[in-house]
């Protein structure tokens, strides 16, 4: 069930109960106190991707709000590399006292350990705290493309397997996984070209180095759509979105391809005390009701219903169930 957002009085009451229940517990906080007075020191928040992208924006926005909520400094540090694994390793090395967190980008975070390679963590090594943003993917071509709509694009792809090159943000992302499923389940084969993020993909499309991109529809992409530099062909959500004028992949003949929605959220190492996870979960919920935070994140990207720890974990398990068999083939 989705987590129900709490009002300010409820948060105060919950905090009192936590303090009363946990007053005698030992905690491992870097401030030296027990878990009941968390946080009492700086919090390190790792971003496992480069500065300037949607993950970085989500981390810095929520980090700024948590500073206000907690009255403690949140230090945001980019540790990009290895499809996000380096940042995850940095978080796990910081210990489970709640003072070292990471932004995670699902599905990539969840699919990395499924590839049969040692990425330094498993999906049991971290606890998803709460989703911050949900960003659907959009399949787009350049303004000079011969394809004006999804029907023409996919008809050509079906008749000419592998001829069309499509940029994706990495080999383990939902974009790459969904296009692999398109080939396996619908016999529509595209050649995937992995990039490190939106900036590289945008340059490749505008330079005619790829025929299309399947990309997170973050604000930079929406800006390119608005100027006409990108022409959207299809979106990845189960239902159409009101800010992109394009049909869904499901409407375009691929009813099962609805999972390419990037969810950016907070995570902590496994074994982090439950009351600290709850404190962080409640704080994120409060932040996502703050008008300034919503404006910075983009109202269209803030989940309509708050996705707390349990719902976030369920989302990750769905990804593992759907993409695991593909990655392990």
Both 153 and 211 in one domain: the answer is yes
Both 283 and 230 in one domain: the answer is no
What is the per-residue pLDDT across 289-298, written as a single tens digit (0 to 9) for each?
999 999 999 9
Q: At what angle do helices 174-186 and 309-327 cross, to 10 degrees?
A: 50
Give the model's pLDDT for residue 328: 75
Give the model's pLDDT for residue 132: 97
- The owner of tokens 């109960």 is 17
Both 157 and 118 in one domain: the answer is no
* Of residues 34 and 232, more confidently modeled: 232
250 within a domain of the structure (yes/no):
no
Identify which of 194, 225, 125, 180 has the alpha carbon closest to the alpha carbon of residue 329.
180
Identify which of 43, 16, 21, 22 has the alpha carbon closest to the alpha carbon of residue 31.
43
130 within a domain of the structure (yes/no):
yes
Of the chain, the percentage scoring pLDDT greater than 90 comes to 74
Give the helix ranges, DSSP H, for 23-80: 54-70
CATH of the domain at 195: 3.40.190.10
For residue 179, give its domain range.
136-235
Q: Mean pLDDT check: name the lowest of 46-60, 212-226, 260-274.
A: 46-60
Contacts of 16 by beta carbon, 8 Å cutoff, 6+ apart:
none
Give the model's pLDDT for residue 34: 58
CATH of the domain at 36: 3.40.190.150
Contacts of 66 by beta carbon, 8 Å cutoff, 6+ apart:
43, 74, 280, 283, 284, 287
Both 130 and 29 in one domain: the answer is yes
CB atoms within 10 A of CB 86: 17
Among candidate residues 235, 251, 282, the one where a domain is terminated: 235
Give the model's pLDDT for residue 221: 95
Both 31 and 79 in one domain: the answer is yes
**Phi, psi angle pair for 230, to nearest 5°:** -115, 140
Both 178 and 292 in one domain: the answer is no
289 within a domain of the structure (yes/no):
yes
pTM of the model: 0.80
Among candidate residues 190, 216, 235, the one where a domain is terminated: 235
Identify which of 29, 104, 105 has the alpha carbon closest to the alpha carbon of residue 70.
29
Both 16 and 111 in one domain: the answer is yes
249 within a domain of the structure (yes/no):
no
DSSP result, 135-148: EEEEEEEETT-S--
pLDDT averaged over every residue in the chain:
88
2 within a domain of the structure (yes/no):
no
Both 129 and 13 in one domain: the answer is yes
Give the model's pLDDT for residue 13: 39
Among candidate residues 180, 200, 235, the one where a domain is terminated: 235
Give the model's pLDDT for residue 169: 87
User: Which residues is 263 bridged to in the sheet?
Assistant: 106, 134
Both 175 and 223 in one domain: the answer is yes
Q: What is the mean pLDDT of residues 139-155?
A: 97
What is the per-residue pLDDT across 98-137, written as a single tens digit (0 to 9) for each?
999 999 999 889 988 988 778 999 999 999 999 999 999 9
Both 186 and 216 in one domain: the answer is yes
Q: What is the mean pLDDT of residues 181-201?
A: 93
168 within a domain of the structure (yes/no):
yes
Both 87 and 229 in one domain: the answer is no
Give the model's pLDDT for residue 10: 40
Q: How many domains does the chain have?
A: 2
What is the distance between the alpha carbons of residues 138 and 267, in angstroms, rounded to a whole number? 26
Q: Mean pLDDT check: name the lowest of 120-134, 147-161, 194-208, 285-299.
A: 194-208
Both 228 and 269 in one domain: the answer is no
What is the distance between the alpha carbons of residues 204 and 186, in angstroms, rounded to a whole number? 27
What is the distance between the alpha carbons of residues 144 and 247, in angstroms, rounded to a whole number? 20
206 within a domain of the structure (yes/no):
yes
Strands 126-142, 261-269: pairing kind: antiparallel
pLDDT band for position 70 (cuts 50, 70, 90): very high
């Amino acid at each position: 069930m989705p987590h129900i957002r709490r009002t300010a009085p409820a948060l105060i009451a919950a905090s009192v109960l936590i303090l009363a229940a946990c007053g005698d517990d030992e905690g491992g906080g870097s401030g030296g106190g027990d878990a009941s007075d968390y946080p009492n020191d700086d919090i390190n928040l790792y971003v496992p991707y480069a500065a300037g992208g949607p993950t970085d924006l989500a981390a810095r926005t929520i980090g700024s709000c948590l500073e206000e909520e907690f009255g403690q400094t949140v230090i945001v540090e980019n540790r990009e590399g290895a499809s996000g694994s380096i940042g995850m390793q940095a978080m796990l090395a910081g210990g489970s006292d709640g003072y070292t967190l990471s932004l995670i980008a699902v599905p990539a975070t969840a699919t990395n350990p499924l590839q049969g390679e040692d990425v330094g963590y498993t999906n049991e090594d971290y606890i998803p705290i709460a989703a911050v943003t949900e960003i659907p993917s959009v399949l787009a071509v350049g303004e000079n493309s011969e394809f004006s709509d999804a029907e023409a694009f996919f008809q050509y792809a079906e008749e000419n397997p592998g001829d069309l090159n499509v940029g994706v943000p990495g080999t383990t992302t939902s974009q790459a996984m969904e296009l692999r499923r398109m080939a396996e389940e619908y016999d529509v084969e595209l050649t995937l070209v992995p990039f490190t993020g939106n900036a590289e993909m945008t340059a490749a499309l505008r330079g005619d180095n790829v025929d299309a991109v399947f990309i997170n529809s973050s604000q930079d992409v929406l800006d390119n759509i608005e100027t006409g530099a990108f022409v959207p062909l299809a979106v990845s959500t189960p239902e159409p979105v009101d800010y992109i004028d394009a049909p869904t992949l499901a409407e375009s003949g691929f009813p099962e391809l609805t999972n390419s929605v990037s969810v950016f959220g907070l995570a902590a190492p496994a074994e982090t005390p439950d009351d600290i996870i709850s404190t962080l979960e409640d704080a994120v919920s409060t932040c996502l009701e703050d008008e300034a935070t919503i404006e910075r994140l983009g109202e269209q990207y803030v989940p309509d219903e708050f996705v707390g720890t349990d719902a976030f974990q369920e989302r990750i398990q769905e990804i593992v169930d759907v993409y695991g068999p593909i990655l392990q083939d």
